[in-house]
Structure 1
Amino acid sequence: MKKKVSLLVMFVVFAVSLTACSMGSAGGSTKADDVIDIVWYPNESGSDMKSSRDEMAKVIEEATGKKVEHHLTTDYAIAIETMVNNNADLAFMGAQGYIEAHKGNEAIKPLVVATGPSGTLDDAVYHSWLAVNQSDQEKYKVDGEFSLDTIEGKNMSFVSNSSTSGFKVPAASILTHFTKQEKYSNLTEMDLMKGGSLFSKVLFGNSHQGSAVNLLKGTADVAAFCDTCVENYVEVVEGEGNTEGAVYKVQDDAAEPFNQVTGKKFTLMSVTPVLNAPFVANIDVLGQEDFDKLQKLFTSDEVANNEEIFVPENSGKSGLFFKTDKERFAAVKDSWFDPIRKLSN
């Protein structure tokens, strides 16, 4: 009898140990392997960004001795969930995407962001645009000035509800403006995601490029997208870039998806600075040792001076990042993204 009891106790202890190990694994603690998986948003998954992605992979492989594999996506949510579920080591995502990913898995940490022209975080911003077709721009003015009042009842295109500059920032501006009116005092972010409240119809482009094309093809009347994600395809033809009233034209040799709308023009009715997008890492998958190696690599002069990563502004080449002066990568803490977090409070 004692022998049977002892065997039963041993079995229970063994079973509990297995369960504990299984739960620990499900909780996210994953051993780093010899492959570094990078997941990319739809905006950076196009063929025109291949040379930049490949150069990033090359320097990472040289620094870590590990193979890099790219995971291209067509949906923001897929990229975020890939990181949250411990299926990738690194990702390049907007501030809002990082905030959502970190909330879902605290092992996801910011690695670096690109600085501004000063080489510091003081001007580490890009710009969120609300744009309209140039031929329709007068419809969006009141007393000669662009006004958000004019977008009521229009067909609106955002990027994704997880996009910082393609949804979160413009939505905050729109809500701030319209909730001052009694008619829209209870308007919410959720209302902006669907037609029938403020907008007649709401579309999501799933990328900044897609949102811009929604506008230029006439599917949307107004569209939100950012400067950095379309700068490879368009050029300023009137006014000063990144200012209200500036007119942009799609280049004749623009790559997909802008090859559908070459020569089309749009006007900026609103321009808002946004914190630069970070590279983020899942510490549980990547490991602290490689995190430290990559942070040192990314912030090095070697990478800052790599013209395949920071493409010279007037080179005519496509790229993820452009060098106009002293741009480089800089390390940041989680708290750097608090201004974007506050938009949801």
Structure 2
Amino acid sequence: MMKKLLSFLVFMLIISGILAGCGTSSSSGSAKKDKFVIAYLPQESDEQMQKTYSNFEKELSEKIGVKVEAYQANSYNAAIEAMKNNKADMAMFGPFSYIVAEERADAELIANLNNPELEGQAPSVIVVPKDSDIQTIADLEGKTIGFADPVSTTGHLLPKSTIVKELGIGVEDLEKSFFKSVQFAGGHDKALIGVVRGQYDAAGVSAMMPAMLEEKGIIEKGSYRVIAESESIPVGAPFAVRSGLDQEMKDNIKKFLLSYDDPQYFKNILGTENAKFMEASDSDYDQLRDIAEMLNLSPEQLLES
């Protein structure tokens, strides 16, 4: 009798443990994420831009049912690391920084923000001060050049590849003997302002940046000259999320982006009200991976630059 009672008690303890374990698992599995963090990369920013971001965050929050917060990264690397360490859930990357984020932080492409007005046009330019004696890429020899960020598509890799192709020299020779100095300004606006103020002899920046800064009165119209343009690329601004997010949330975010229709948001982000979110595939970025390979730049090298 005692044996049967003991066996029964052991049996009940085991069942209780199993049920408790199931209950805990179920509870944690259904626990709702209490916030969603968007990492913003270094770029020109002002009060209007902050309002634009705030409106976007509010609408996204309503769609996914979670509070949306912003994280302003001071570098592309910082944004990528934030996503890698689960401190950021989504970011609008540049094409090259997305490639690095996909490899290093397992970022998952969810949509592209495209500007149809720029289709087939050069996304990147090399600029010099208006009164500079620099007329061609060859004239940059012995000069100081400023780029936006090591992992910037239009503010580093595209202008650099343009110079390499034009001169027919290796990347190592370009940086060690051709230029007097290669510097990173920390943003497209900072690189362009640096040129206008004489900090750099030239800079590689997004082709949209000069007009945007002129319109806002940050630089004077005609205070710079464009001496070269990059080749066009078939992708826009990639939006990527942490791959570890719940699939339902990913689906809701994608639906939100693809149906988003705020002309002011698009104008402030890409300079035109006609921009829009579109379906995207990771293979769209293979051409850019080829450019990075041509420049002998791995994701790790880019982040260490």
TM-score, length-scaled by structure 1: 0.70
- Contact residue 299 and residue 329 of structure 1 kept, 8 A: yes
Matched residue, 1:212: 192
Q: Relative to structure 1, is the Cα distance of residues 37 and 114 closer, same or farther in structure 2, using a 3 angstrom cutoff?
A: same
- Contact residue 114 and residue 237 of structure 2 kept, 8 A: no
Q: Is 1:290–2:284 an aligned residue pair?
A: no
- Contact residue 45 and residue 73 of structure 1 kept, 8 A: no
- Contact residue 160 and residue 166 of structure 1 kept, 8 A: yes
Matched residue, 1:59: 59
Matched residue, 2:158: 169
Deviations 1:42-83 (A, max 9, x none): 105544410111121011111011101000122221112111
Deviations 1:216-249 (A, max 9, x none): 11011111111334443215xxxxxxxxxxxxxx
- Contact residue 208 and residue 230 of structure 1 kept, 8 A: no
Matched residue, 2:101: 101
Matched residue, 1:117: 116
| Higher Rg | 2
- CA distance in 1 between counterparts of 2:60 and 2:53 reads 11
Deviates more, 1:330-339 or 1:71-80: 71-80
Q: Aligned runs of 1:140-151 on 2, under 5 Å?
A: 140-141=134-135, 147-151=136-140
Q: Is 1:278–2:226 an aligned residue pair?
A: no
SS of 2:212's equivalent in the other structure is: coil
* Letter of the structure 2 residue corresponding to residue 213 of structure 1: I
Matched residue, 2:20: none
Q: Relative to structure 1, is the Cα distance of residues 321 and 62 closer, same or farther in structure 2, using a 3 angstrom cutoff?
A: farther
Q: Is 1:135–2:131 an aligned residue pair?
A: yes
SS of 1:332's equivalent in the other structure is: coil
Percent identity for Structure 1 against Structure 2 = 25
Q: Is 1:226–2:206 an aligned residue pair?
A: yes
- CA distance in 1 between counterparts of 2:122 and 2:255 reads 24
Matched residue, 1:200: 180
CA RMSD of aligned residues (A): 2.3
Q: Aligned runs of 1:34-49 on 2, under 5 Å?
A: 34-43=34-43, 45-49=45-49
- Contact residue 125 and residue 276 of structure 1 kept, 8 A: no
- Contact residue 111 and residue 295 of structure 1 kept, 8 A: yes
Structure having the higher strand fraction is 1
SS of 1:308's equivalent in the other structure is: helix
* Letter of the structure 1 residue corresponding to residue 224 of structure 2: F
Provide the aligned length of Structure 1 versus Structure 2. Answer: 261
Offset at residue 212 of structure 1 (A): 0.5
Matched residue, 1:86: 86
* Letter of the structure 1 residue corresponding to residue 206 of structure 2: C
- CA distance in 1 between counterparts of 2:44 and 2:82 reads 16
Alignment equivalent of 1:268, drawn from 221, 226, 247: 226
- CA distance in 2 between counterparts of 1:219 and 1:174 reads 20
- CA distance in 1 between counterparts of 2:35 and 2:173 reads 42
Structure having the higher helix fraction is 2
Deviations 1:149-186 (A, max 9, x none): 1111111111111110111111111112223xxxx4xx
Deviations 1:107-145 (A, max 9, x none): x11111123337xxx938761010011111xx233xxxx
Offset at residue 191 of structure 1 (A): 5.5
- CA distance in 2 between counterparts of 1:45 and 1:79 reads 16
* Letter of the structure 2 residue corresponding to residue 163 of structure 1: S
- Contact residue 44 and residue 189 of structure 2 kept, 8 A: no
* Letter of the structure 2 residue corresponding to residue 63 of structure 1: K
Offset at residue 211 of structure 1 (A): 0.5
Matched residue, 2:289: 341
Matched residue, 2:296: none
* Letter of the structure 2 residue corresponding to residue 177 of structure 1: E
* Letter of the structure 1 residue corresponding to residue 110 of structure 2: L
SS of 1:42's equivalent in the other structure is: coil
Q: Relative to structure 1, is the Cα distance of residues 114 and 81 closer, same or farther in structure 2, using a 3 angstrom cutoff?
A: same
- Contact residue 95 and residue 236 of structure 2 kept, 8 A: yes
TM-score, length-scaled by structure 2: 0.78
